[in-house]
Amino acid sequence: MNEVDISKSELKRSIFSHTQLHKATLLEVDMSGSSFTATNLEGAKLDTCVLNAAMMASVSMRRAIIEGGNFVAANLSGTGFQEAHLAHVKLRNVSAQGADFARATLYTVDFSNAQLNGAIFHECDLSQTTFDGAQLDRADFRFSYGYKRRQFENAVGLATVIGLDLAG
């Protein structure tokens, strides 16, 4: 199902686990409670999608473009977002332990109260991204940029911040 277009649909509680959705287009789709475990969404475009409480552990979302979506309370543990572009995305209360956001652009992403223990944020653009109340034990922010100290207010845990300047 590579390069498939799934738009303007309601697919709540669907099962997409172990599916190839490489470069798929998902526009205004409600997939709340759906399962995507070990699915390939590399290069996919998700625009204004709702994936609240979705099971997305170990999904490949490398180079995906995600704009205006809701992933509230989703399980993103071990998911790879390397080089992805996320803008205006709500990732509140997600479980994303060990997720990899290396070299991703995270513009106005809300990680409030997220479980991000062991997550990787190497060389990320964190412009206007918030981590309010997030769990950040062993999270790695090496060489990330585009943030202000207040974006990490009330965050909990000991993160690796080599090259991260929290002066501003």
CA–CA gap between residue 28 and residue 62 (Å, rounded): 21
110 close to 89: Cβ distance less than 8 angstroms: yes
**pLDDT reported for residue 11:** 94
Q: Helix, strand or coil for residue 151?
A: helix
CA–CA gap between residue 166 and residue 4 (Å, rounded): 42
CA 121 to chain centre: 11
CA 149 to chain centre: 21
Q: Is 21 exposed, middle or buried (0-12, 13-18, 19+ CB in 10 A)?
A: buried
For the chain of 168 residues, list the mean pLDDT of each consecutive stretch of 10: 87 94 96 95 97 97 97 97 98 98 97 96 93 91 83 72 51
**pLDDT reported for residue 149:** 72
